[in-house]
A and B are shown apart, each in its own frame.
Chain A
Amino acid sequence: MLKMQNVSFSYGAINAVRDVSLSIEDGEMVSLIGANGAGKTTVLGIISGLLRPSAGDITFGGESIVKTPPSTIVKKGIVHVPEGRQIFAKMTIWENLRLGGYKVTNRKLFQERVEYAFDLFPILKERKNQSAGTLSGGEQQMLAIARALISGPKLLLLDEPSLGLSPLITRQVFGVISGLKKAGITMLLVEQNAYEALQISDRAYVLETGSIAMTGKSSDFINNEDIKKAYLGGV
């Protein structure tokens, strides 16, 4: 579904991502793990078109999207749930969802997806006319995911969905994510919480200082001694 080939990106003189190649198959859930500053968020930014790579190619469904603007990439079905939620804090929850469906011109489809999101997160329905900034961190994360679902993603990019959340809320968020996986949504998950990410994903890539250091089945990684030591806190 998505193929990244030898992609590089630098912020000025700093090479943030070097020669990264990865692929995601239809229906698969892939996680991208690595330390802070390894370039995980940059990789997502490149896929969603916010950042333009200096080298390499990206194809989505066989078509190159490396020069495609973010607004068109959304329309093609790649939807990015950014780090730190990035909800529209001054707007209402309902308006946030409306904006999630900015590219959805079919009203009926939009309504169906809103219903689906409200079923998934009843709290959003209860508080739909309140400004999104009044939600708790966990609720904001749910809103960010709901907003992304409304655009009908073929590929969902999730950046640090557990960042800053309590362990209890983190469990809830991961519960929702595995629900989405069961519903057949293809996902690329970026997480510092590597253990949770490996638990629910099919395959994983390990990013170290901007390059792919390792790749394999998530279940193999959980039992891998090196991975345990480096990313799972030695558990």
Chain B
Amino acid sequence: MSIEYIISQLINGLRLGSVYAMVAIGYSIVYGILRLINFAHGDILTVGAYTALTLMVAFGYPLWLVIILSIIISVAMGLLIERVAYRPLRNAREETTLVSSLAVSAFLQNLITMVFSEQRKAFQLPDWLTEIHTYGIVKLSTMNIIIFATTIFLLIFLSIIMKKTRIGMAMRACSDNQRAAALMGININVVVAVAFMIGSALAGLAGIMLAGEYKTVDPAMGFAPGLKAFVAAVLGGIGSLGGAVLGGFILGIAEMAFAGLLPTSITPYRDAMVFVLLILVLLVKPNGILGSDEGGRS
């Protein structure tokens, strides 16, 4: 095995990991506040990708406008889902909201199938983005660099928001102790809406990036990455931003390592290996790598 091969798998892993990380942040923030595992979160990624496709192909909008509008549509969809499927169940048991999120996921996949058909469609980003550059033995595309840099930027940006701003403090207060947060005069509905906005914006953006990487879109494209991102959030320590990003990178790199290092007869089972990894980590660190050790919620 050559060093070039290892490096290229590492880059693939970081690229995939960045997408997982972006989606995992949304899972993590929403879970932290509502204790809701939002299985429809991965499908927001699909919404973002299809919106981008439509705006590019049917309307011929420039890329920057496509990205902004796709994020706006994803955010609107996230807010709508929260309002319709989760807010009425705010005081219901966790299993109830979990089932509701699975229903929303199925609904979104079917809606997209109805509107766009179940056929895979080509998704072509401008050439300057997908062009491969060679730096010595390292080969990467402009897209690779943008994805990775965006993830790191978002991690830092969101960490500052959480630490320094009024709404960030309110979000942390809600995930620490929601009842007490309400007594401080914090409007829980606003905090929840902001959490869904951030999560959906990131998922929509991740959808465009994933579609750009694979050069196709299909109605179920968000489901598997959504599930992996959830695993990443749990692996890193759910509720922690840094944990979500770290979990995303570990998962992406592990997946690519399994794909690259294992004999071809086993590679179809690489997803199973990823889940084995999750189980092993949770056996040692039940709250995830960066999760607090304080046990459950107060």
Interface, chain A (partner B; CB < 8 A):
48, 50, 69-72, 74-75, 79-80, 82, 86-91, 95, 98-100, 102-103, 133, 147, 151
C-beta contact mask, B177-201 vs A, less than 8 Å → 1, else 0? 1011111111100000000000000
Of the listed stretches B63-71, B137-145, B166-174, name the one at the interface; the rest are far from the partner chain.
Answer: B166-174
Listed by A's residue number, 5 A-B pairs whose Cβ atoms lie within 8 Å are: A72-B185, A74-B183, A91-B172, A99-B170, A100-B184
Is B298's beta carbon under 8 Å from chain A? yes
| Contact of A80 with B177 in the complex, beta carbons under 8 Å | no
Give the residue of B173, B182, B187, B292 whose beta carbon is less than 8 angstroms from that of A88: B173
- CA of A157 to CA of B187, assembled, Å: 20
Residues of A within 8 A of B180 (CB): 82, 86-88
Q: Which B residue's beta carbon lies closest to that of A74?
A: B185
Return the chain A residue nearest B175 by Cβ: A90
Residues of A contacting B179 with CB < 8 Å?
Answer: 50, 82, 86
Closest to A90 in B: B176
Which listed residue (B166, B170, B177, B185) contacts A89, Cβ 8 A? B177
A153 CA to B181 CA in the complex, in Å? 16
Interface centre among A75, A80, A91, A99 (most CB of B within 10 A): A99
* Least Cβ–Cβ distance between A40 and chain B, in angstroms: 17
Contact between B169 and A89, CB atoms less than 8 A apart: no
- B contact residues around A79 at 8 Å (CB): 183
A71 and B185 within 8 A (CB): yes
Q: Tell me which residues across on chain B come within 8 A of A102, comparing CB atoms.
A: 166, 169-170, 184-186
List, in ascending order, chain B residues with CB within 8 A of A100's CB.
Answer: 184
Q: Are B172 and A151 closer than 8 Å at their CB atoms?
A: no
Q: Which residues of B contact A70 (CB under 8 A)?
A: 182-183, 185
**Cα distance, A79 to B170, chains bound together (Å):** 17
Q: Do A99 and B294 touch across chains, with their CB atoms under 8 A apart?
A: no
Rounded to whole angstroms, the CA-CA distance of A48 and B184 in the bound complex is: 11
Which A residues touch B187, using CB under 8 A? 69, 71
- Interchain CA distance A90-B176 in the complex, whole Å: 7
Residue of B nearest to A48 (CB): B183
Given contacts A95-B169, A98-B169, contact A88 B177 (CB under 8 A): yes
User: Within the assembled complex, what's the spacing in Å between the Cα atoms of A50 and B177?
Assistant: 14
Most chain A beta-carbon contacts within 10 A, residue among B172, B176, B298: B176
Q: Which residues of A contact B294 (CB under 8 A)?
A: 89-90, 133
In the assembled complex, the CB of B181 is this many whole angstroms from the nearest CB of chain A, namely: 7
Number of interface residues of B (CB under 8 A): 19
Q: Return chain A residues, CB-CB under 8 Å to B183.
A: 48, 50, 70, 74, 79-80, 82, 86
Kindly provide the distance from the CB of B205 to the nearest chain A CB, expressed in whole angstroms.
Answer: 29
If the complex has contacts A89-B298, A90-B294, A102-B170, are A151 and B176 also in contact, measured as CB distance less than 8 A? no
Complex Cα distance A91/B172, Å? 8
Minimum CB–CB distance from B277 to chain A (whole Å) comes to 27
Complex Cα gap A32–B264 (Å):
73
CA A151 – CA B166 in complex, angstroms?
Answer: 15
- Shortest CB-to-CB span from B179 to chain A, Å, is 6
Q: Is the CB of A74 within 8 A of B184?
A: yes
**B292 surroundings in chain A (CB, below 8 A):** 90
Nearest Cβ on chain B to A85's Cβ, whole angstroms: 9
Also in contact, A99 and B298, with CB within 8 A (given A50-B183, A71-B185, A74-B184): no
- CA distance in complex: A172, B169 (Å): 31
* B residues near A82, Cβ cutoff 8 Å: 179-180, 183
Contact B184 A50 (CB under 8 A): no
A98 to B172, CA, bound (A): 12
Nearest CB on B from A96, distance (A)? 9
> Which residues of chain B (234-254) have a CB below 8 Å from chain A?
none
Q: A71-B185, A99-B184, A102-B184 are in contact. List 6 more A-B contacts (CB 8 A).
A: A71-B182, A88-B177, A91-B176, A102-B169, A151-B184, A151-B185
Contacts of B169 in A (CB 8 A): 95, 98-99, 102
State whether B182 touches A50 (Cβ < 8 A).
yes
Smallest CB–CB gap between A132 and chain B, Å? Answer: 9
Residues of B within 8 A of A98 (CB): 169
A189 nearest CB across to chain B (Å): 17
Q: Is the CB of A86 within 8 A of B185?
A: no
Contacts of A48 in B (CB 8 A): 183
The 7 A-B residue pairs whose C-beta atoms are closest, nearest first, are: A74-B185, A86-B180, A103-B185, A88-B176, A71-B187, A71-B185, A70-B182
Which residues in A have their C-beta under 8 angstroms from that of B173? 88, 91, 99
Taken together as a complex, chains A and B put the C-alpha atoms of A87 and B181 apart, in Å, by: 9
Interface residues of B in 195-243 (CB under 8 A from A): none
A92 to B86 alpha-carbon distance, docked (Å):
31
Find the B residue at minimum CB distance from A144. B180
